[in-house]
Chains A and B, each alone.
Chain A
Amino acid sequence: MTPLLQVKGIEKLYGARIGCADVTFDLYPGEVMGIVGESGSGKSTLLNCLAGHLVPDAGQVIFDTRANGPVDTVTMSEPERRMLSRTDWAFVHQHVRDGLRMSVSAGGNIGERLMAVGDRRYGDIRDKAIDWLGRVEIEAARVDDRPTAFSGGMQQRLQIARNLVTGPRLVFMDEPTGGLDVSVQARLLDLLRGLVREMGLSAIIVTHDLAVVRLLADRLMVMKDGHVVEAGLTDQVLDDPQHAYTQLLVSSVLQV
């Protein structure tokens, strides 16, 4: 089977400081990869390099495109990359303000990607928006409300709906449960797990929270100082950590 994503030797420097370095892994269709590590370990830097938001200084990010098979997204043209990021890719931001249009209704937020790829029937767009609100457990009656009128948990669910409406194949998530109350987090995790299974999504999830990866990730990478120090099946890594840093992390000494 061809990997959906092949990451080879990704490196990103901020001046002399290492953002992330020498990151290599494959992600297969339907797989969820978790990335954990302490604050400043390079998780977001890596994720942004993979999603095309940052240009890495070295390495390749090869995505198995529908049309042309595996293509290096780092060197593909910007229009192609932007097209990918609103069709086959999705990006769930930690801060909903980065991922939602706060002055546009919930329906308009969900409909944006549909319209961006050429959907031109208002009735269909609205139906799909309402359907997706239901799938993320928001009442249909809220379709014309702006996200500013939603709770934090609802906003995050709306962001997820807005991202998944075009049926992406790869979802990038940066701390999707960050900043939410514990009970709200649990509900969001259940929802995400359901959607990932139901849609057969492949995902890369960055988090501080080992409970999140335990629940969602098939595989795990542990990062420290910009490098991957340990990688493997989630349960293996968490139950039998090999690297001293992972052992500290798992023993929750370093949990933030």
Chain B
Amino acid sequence: MSAYNFAYLDEQTKRMIRRAILKGLAIPGYQVPFASREMPMPYGWGTGGVQVSAATLTPEDTLKVIDQGADDTTNAVSIRKFFEKTAGVETTEETEKATVIQTRHRIPEAKLREDQIIVYQVPIPEPLRFLEPRETETRKMHSLEEYGLMHVKLYEDISQHGAISTAYAYPVKVCGRYVMDPSPIPKFDNPKLEMDAIQLFGAGREQRIYAVPPHTRVVSLDFEDYPFEATKADHPCDLCGAEDSYLDEVIMDDAGNRMFVCSDTDYCRSRREAGHMGRLAEENAA
């Protein structure tokens, strides 16, 4: 551990990243460029989020890392180990106990608090990229608040699929000003983007940081006659019985039997510990 500076990055770099974070918080939803560093992991592994976490962590923090809602995937485990090794911070799987949560693809089900920070790993920060590949033009569109194109994308969705089929990375408008990609969280999580905690977003390869301060208005884009819906599979969790959590569909055997389980593994575990049971709870009880 002594071979590294606290949390791997040198102090100079962390200061540079903190400046970008502060700027991001001051201009909610605005993409702040930063000089992304090489990290000892490939880009697809959330180097943007890792750098933001590294600049955010203090020795007193307790870190939780989730990937698709789970604490035990390879990606989550390796990032958690990385910070255990380089920062020596405590880690946890419990959302409640964490002060900093790094996440890919989910927002925890438990309501986050004002004393918590959630850091999102972002692959593509630019919500306008799909229809306008020129960076100079998208920057101009943001600066002039020309967001008609976002609705063209939703229009295309409806005309092709009969409904807005965008299910992940569903675009939002932050604080009535900037349109933002909330990273590939399911749209079920979009309403949670208005939260008490600080939200930081890091894109390593694209070298962008953006942020949403606590209690900031975040509106999912839609049409009046096709309003936004935070959809999920229409099932309770087969393990904990929760009806309000985002579910993963799991194939159980070769016969094609399926079950629905909370994607947020900590939420599911804590409910089961509190005595809640789903349809398949007993046979799966360890």
CA distance A117 to B146 in the complex (A): 9
- Contact assessment for A108 and B223 in the assembled complex, using a CB-CB cutoff below 8 Å: no
> Known: A113-B148, A121-B225, A123-B225. Is A101-B131 also a contact (CB below 8 A)?
yes
- Contact assessment for B156 and A104 in the assembled complex, using a CB-CB cutoff below 8 Å: yes
B159 interface neighbour in A86, A101, A116, A144, Cβ under 8 Å:
A144
- Contact assessment for A104 and B226 in the assembled complex, using a CB-CB cutoff below 8 Å: no
- Contact assessment for B159 and A121 in the assembled complex, using a CB-CB cutoff below 8 Å: no
Residues of A within 8 A of B158 (CB): 122
- Contact assessment for A116 and B146 in the assembled complex, using a CB-CB cutoff below 8 Å: yes
Residues of B within 8 A of A82 (CB): 144, 146
CA distance A99 to B223 in the complex (A): 25
Residues of A within 8 A of B151 (CB): 115, 120
- Give 5 new A-B contacts, CB below 8 A, not counting A122-B225, A143-B159: A108-B155, A108-B156, A122-B155, A126-B155, A126-B159
B160 within 8 A of A: yes
B152 within 8 A of A: yes
Q: Smallest distance from the beta carbon of A83 to chain B beta carbons, Å?
A: 8
A 95-122 to B, binary, CB cutoff 8 A, 1 in contact else 0? 0000001011101100111011100111
- Contact assessment for A107 and B131 in the assembled complex, using a CB-CB cutoff below 8 Å: no
Q: Which residues of chain B from 53 to 76 have a CB within 8 Å of any chain A CB?
A: none
CA distance A116 to B131 in the complex (A): 14
How big is chain B's contact interface, by range? 10 to 19
CA distance A119 to B18 in the complex (A): 39
CA distance A113 to B148 in the complex (A): 7
Q: Which residues of chain A from 130 to 168 have a CB within 8 Å of any chain B CB?
A: 143-144
CA distance A121 to B1 in the complex (A): 58
Residues of B within 8 A of A113 (CB): 148
- Contact assessment for B148 and A117 in the assembled complex, using a CB-CB cutoff below 8 Å: yes
Q: Smallest distance from the beta carbon of B216 to chain A beta carbons, Å?
A: 22
Q: Which residue of B lies closest to A116 (CB)?
A: B148
> Known: A79-B144, A116-B146, A126-B159. Is A104-B225 also a contact (CB below 8 A)?
no
B224 within 8 A of A: yes
> Known: A120-B224, A122-B226. Is A108-B148 also a contact (CB below 8 A)?
no
Q: Smallest distance from the beta carbon of A232 to chain B beta carbons, Å?
A: 40
B26 within 8 A of A: no
Q: Smallest distance from the beta carbon of A153 to chain B beta carbons, Å?
A: 23
Using a CB–CB distance below 8 Å, which chain B residues touch chain A? 131, 144, 146, 148-149, 151-152, 155-156, 158-160, 223-226
- Contact assessment for B225 and A111 in the assembled complex, using a CB-CB cutoff below 8 Å: no
Q: Smallest distance from the beta carbon of B131 to chain A beta carbons, Å?
A: 7
CA distance A122 to B224 in the complex (A): 7
Q: Which residue of A lies closest to B151 (CB)?
A: A115
Q: Smallest distance from the beta carbon of B222 to chain A beta carbons, Å?
A: 8
Q: Smallest distance from the beta carbon of B23 to chain A beta carbons, Å?
A: 22
> Known: A104-B131, A120-B223. Is A125-B148 also a contact (CB below 8 A)?
no
CA distance A166 to B248 in the complex (A): 45
B155 interface neighbour in A79, A103, A115, A117, Cβ under 8 Å:
A115
A144 interface neighbour in B146, B160, B226, Cβ under 8 Å:
B160
Q: Smallest distance from the beta carbon of B272 to chain A beta carbons, Å?
A: 42
CA distance A116 to B150 in the complex (A): 9
Q: List 24 A-B contacts (CB under 8 A).
A: A78-B144, A79-B144, A82-B144, A82-B146, A103-B131, A104-B156, A105-B159, A107-B155, A108-B156, A111-B152, A111-B155, A112-B149, A112-B152, A115-B148, A115-B152, A116-B148, A120-B223, A121-B224, A122-B223, A122-B224, A122-B225, A123-B225, A126-B155, A143-B159
Residues of A within 8 A of B131 (CB): 101, 103-104
Q: Which residue of B lies closest to A113 (CB)?
A: B148
Q: Smallest distance from the beta carbon of A144 to chain B beta carbons, Å?
A: 5
Q: Which residues of chain A from 58 to 113 have a CB within 8 Å of any chain B CB?
A: 78-79, 82, 86, 101, 103-105, 107-108, 111-113
Residues of B within 8 A of A111 (CB): 152, 155
Residues of A within 8 A of B148 (CB): 86, 112-113, 115-117
Q: Smallest distance from the beta carbon of A24 to chain B beta carbons, Å?
A: 31
B156 interface neighbour in A105, A116, A120, Cβ under 8 Å:
A105
Residues of A within 8 A of B159 (CB): 105, 107-108, 126, 143-144
Q: Which residue of B lies closest to A122 (CB)?
A: B223
